[in-house]
Chains A and B, each alone.
Chain A
Amino acid sequence: MREFPPILQAKNLTKTYGENVIFKNISLDVYKGETIVIIGPSGTGKSTLLRCLNLLTPVDSGQIFLEGEEITAPSVNQDQVRQKIGMVFQNFLLFNHLTALGNVMVGLTKVKKMPHNQAKEKALQELERVGLADRAHHYPAQLSGGQQQRVAIARALAMDPLVMLFDEPTSALDPELIGEVLGVMEQLAHEHMTMLVVTHEMGFAREVADRIIFMEKGRIVEEGTPEDLFERPQQARTREFLGRISELYGKREKG
């Protein structure tokens, strides 16, 4: 896999809000088909990093490359870049006035200018993919949190993105609904979708990730395979964090 250049590459990204350094000199290579999970305490810049990667938030310095092309260059059409990077948010952020089908279709018809029937067919396929074809005509308010998040995943997938970014996709869900969303993500990983996932779900990280990145206070402390990090963490901070988090989430992991 590594013979190819990275599909998404970040070089020395720095982001500050006033005096506040969110992250500093972050570099990251994402290769086609791999699933990277970013873990770390709250407020360490993980979510902001994802937002910067698809240009929703500008970085202060550093460069981002998508398929070798610099997308942080001033001449780049950011709207076109965002079409190629799917994003799933913690709070789903479905379009409330559109049905599940409408949510998945709107990017196809309005952004990709796809004909209505073709867009509808494609949208139904994507809903099928997340197991919600039978909910196509439900509005977001009529869906459970887990279903809403799966529609949000379908909405992002419909644009045929090169990379999918997940920003704590299960953090706003009731515990019994987390599984269905993680299930869809696991299936995507098996289909070799390229994914970058910020999550506290250690079970998912362990089972599905090709690589785990541990971030704290705006920098990458350690990265490696799940075995490396869980079995042989090199940094004391990594050990401490994983110890604390498995205490917290331990009960669910065994289940």
Chain B
Amino acid sequence: MVIQFFTYILQGTSVTLAVTLVALPLGLILGLAFALLYNYGGLWVSRLAAVYSLAMRGVPPVALLFVLYFLLSGRLVNLSPFWAGSISLGIISSAYQMEILRGALQAVGESQMIAARAIGMSRFQAIRYIILPQAIRLAIPPWSNEASIVLKDSSLVYALGVPEILRRAQQLSATTQQPFLAFGAAALIYFILVFLANRGLDLLAEKTKLPNAAA
């Protein structure tokens, strides 16, 4: 019976992964854009980016998910719960990813920008070839944390009826009266996914690490 539990819930895993694989990259693209606007966009643009971040981070994800969901599947645009939910999660995550990247960009420092400008690079070239490659390296560990949060928060789309891991666990718990087994299986699957994601990103961080001592 345990195996049947697992196979039933595992069918939700592909949905969970799909939600994550939409939300995380979308959050990265938006987050990077907002981080760059915050750091290099001038006073007013930077303030707007800060307000965006504050608003997105100041509201519980579930509440924001419902607000965005009803916007994205309303009269003007009508997306399926899967897409509306994934995009909403991506937008929520973008604020956190923005903060991660903003901090990383600042940690690289203004002096690298000056050195890049001094050899004739434009601001865009300096950001592209000098600042970002260093900032992204710095951002991998905190980003790994955000990736596992998004993976776990993907369970929120359950509230919209998307049949991901938690939704399936809930159904199973209701029909079999075995909540411990059902949710235990779901928890285990989440743990394995998060563990694998973090290990993968650790390896990436290790691979891109710069040597820091005289060889």
Contact = CB atoms under 8 A, between A and B. Distances in A.
B42 interface: no
A110 interface: yes
Contact of A156 (B119, B129, B137, B214): B119
Given A82-B117, A91-B111, A110 B125 contact: yes
Interface string B120-144: 1110010001100110010000000
Contact of A97 (B111, B119, B134): B134
B34 to A, nearest CB: 23
A111 B118 CA distance: 11
In terms of DSSP, what is the predominant structure of the interface of chain B? Answer: helix
B115 A89 contact: yes
A142 B213 contact: yes
Contact of B215 (A95, A138, A159): A138
Interface string B99-116: 000000000000110111
Interface string A81-92: 011101101010
Interface residues of A, number: 29
Nearest to B134: A97
A106 interface: yes
A93 interface: yes
B136 to A, nearest CB: 9
B119 A96 contact: no
A79 B117 CA distance: 7
B210 interface: yes
Given A82-B117, A107-B120, A139 B129 contact: no
A54 interface: yes
Interface of B: 111-112, 114-122, 125, 129-130, 133-134, 137, 210-215
